[in-house]
Structure 1
Amino acid sequence: MLSGSTNPCHDNSCDWQEIKNGLAQRRWYATNHILPDGSQIIIGGRREFNFEFYPKTPTADKPYNLPFLVQTNDRHIENNLYPFVFLNVDGNLFIFANNRAILFDYIKRVVVKTYPAMPGGDPRNYPSTGSAVLLPLKKLQGGAIGAEVLVCGGAPKGAYASAKYSVNFVPALSTCGRIHITDLNPQWTMETMPLARVMGDMVLLPNAKVLIINGASTGTAGWDLGRNPVLSPVIYQPGKPSGSRFEVQNPSSTPRMYHSTAVLLRDGRVLVGGSNPHLNYSFTRVLFPTDLTLEAFSPSYLESASSRLRPKIGSPASQSIIGYGRQLAIRFTIPPSRLSKNLVTVTMVAPSFTTHSFSMNQRLLVLSGGNITAVGLSKYQILVTTPSSRNLAPPGHYLLFVVHQDVPSEGIWVQIK
């Protein structure tokens, strides 16, 4: 991982520039996350069992050891690269590597909590590449905000060696583990996906559901080590009862294997692109050619039958600045005969940096409040409260959506600071 920046311009003259001494260590396959103060933490990487911060300050100008990365490392395979990292609502970091997890106080550099190992003992991080999301954050009964993490897919223990040295591509994992990381005695709950998947991407949708897309059903991540692409995406619905949360979607015709990616767009679609399982770009005479195309997955809420239910935000204007713990009035339009007031929510989605099946910094908040009043013909106003702290929503830009009967509006950009 290199550290770089660019200055915006309007004449096509700007270019990326490497930041001299931006990172203290060389970091391949590391994870980064934005912190409540707006800085970034960079964790791990190949043979880097430590973390550091950017930008550098007099009190944070060097790497710090993280023994957890040593404890979860398989020295032959390194099944703890791109660890899954999420900012918990208490300001500590949830870090998942291989099949284990901790809650880490990065300021005091101490482990606050050690979570149980995920049942089954199989690795979930690169190259046994599963994926993970912090499930949507919202107020629970009593006013507290709990946090849950969902880890899905991956490859069984030994899958990398089996594919690389024996040309034997074992079936991917079909299980997901879900855990309340804020519980006093957190335990994993296991679920089974309808399709086994390694190298899958998980994307939070504006209506607080999870898309699982891309990947393969056998093999592992790495050069030419995956087989049998999974063409059908799956929607995971966190609020439904266990056993009824997965819904298989219509398939794509394009295999998206190693080095593919997916990211949420402002209009509610998901941009899906890439696939390069090879050391070099190989467009012919290979099982899965390098693919540089892009396509968009449209969730069912974008079907024509849902268009009459879709809100349109009138205010605030895109690029508005909002504060913490403030009341926010959002005006939107929708045909009055279609409005169900008790089925309107407002969500904020942090944009992610996505690579190798993990969307770093991905975060969705369901804003509390929801009083709706009519302010004109087919025009309504909903009052919500913005996130109360930087632990809930680190400063930066978010996409804000009004969601009506599971159908989101187009998002507008807001900046919280």
Structure 2
Amino acid sequence: MSTHTDRLHDRKFVRTFFTTPTAVKGEDDSAKMLRRAAQLSGIEAPDVWVPDNEDATAPSMRDEGIENIIDVLSEHGADVPGEIHPRVVWHRESPETRYQGFQQILELADPENGAVEHLDGVVIPEVGDIDDWKKADEFITIVENEHGLEEGSLAMSVIVESGEAELALGDLREEMGKPSNNLERLFLLVDGEVDYTKDMRAITPTGELPPWPELRHNTSRGASAAGLIAIDGPYDDIRDVEGYHERMTDNQAKGMLGIWSLTPGQVVEANKSPLPPKNGSWLLEVDDREIELEAEDGRYVYEGDAIELEEAADDRYRLSVGGDEQELDGDELSQELLDLASYIPSLNDIVDSMEEFEAAKEAGKGAIAMERSATIAIDGVEVEISNDRMWDEATYQAAQTPITLFQDVYENRPDQHEDLEEMYGEDLVERAMVVG
């Protein structure tokens, strides 16, 4: 018997979940947005493309939307570099809507229509408790049997848009693997904060969405426990690139490395965001904000006015941070700045450290100290900082996550090889693919 640890999908990570309307009213070609999205490649193409026959498409256009998905996949599906998971209609409280979703899946998966060979799965919105998830799974199983497809060949992703669905996340580990269902077909758990806010009857003074950090944590935890992949919901302010980055950074600290993308521009940002940076950088924390230092001629320069530093008499220094002034000797100053500083390692830094630890482990050492140092310049005064970090097996395993992500991207997205080599250099890419 299968267990909840059996994965029916190959991807370990998904960075981008890109939705496209399936039929646009008033256009000569109602499928033009689908055709455009199907031809994206490289860093502009998502890991998962979602022809969206639910919220993004008007109800009156959804029948035509299914026809458009079939036409576009038949023509362009073989060239789409990511996975293809259309979103169909569904609702936990509407048998009629669930039946419509079943009919849409049945049509999409019909081998005579020429699209199913390019279809990786379907996305089910508005799910409820775990019994509702099982209904969707059973419908997909029926479709597979109706069309002579292997059971489990179509993945199922769900959008968590209700309190019921959020509670169901805690049931997944127990339910998956039972012989009465095929829930091992589950792939992505996607947050839908807009409908979730409506379902929770939440109100904010500005009318904007609450941040819902608990939902994102619970979805990430549910995905981790069940061997699935967690994806954050859409970030509606498509011009706010900085805010989009902040959201992704916050998500990544929760283990949620993927996010919904609404535009090709967001796809590019989200494809790059979880990857280690090309160059390492030093930050200084000031007034609860982390400020990145400018790299200049081997130094890291602070250019703000919240920190002031000047030399005093007798090899001492006056340091002012947020208005609090101290007089320190050289060692004290180095330690004070070290306490304020943090480092974001580059891909090369991570690979170097892992290679060094692997060599030490092969030589019989269980732990080694690795030094990191920098010259920080503030108001023309240069200060050397340095610290040692102990690396053991646990540290090594933790460092593998960004490397495993990089390797997963490289293996599954050959269309991005050129982009990755341009970002990091061919030699570093080769080293990153064998370390770990």
TM-score normalised according to structure 2 size: 0.29
Structure with higher RCO (Cα < 8 A, 6+ apart): 2
TM-score normalised according to structure 1 size: 0.30
Task: State the structure with more CA Rg.
Answer: 2
Higher helix share: 2
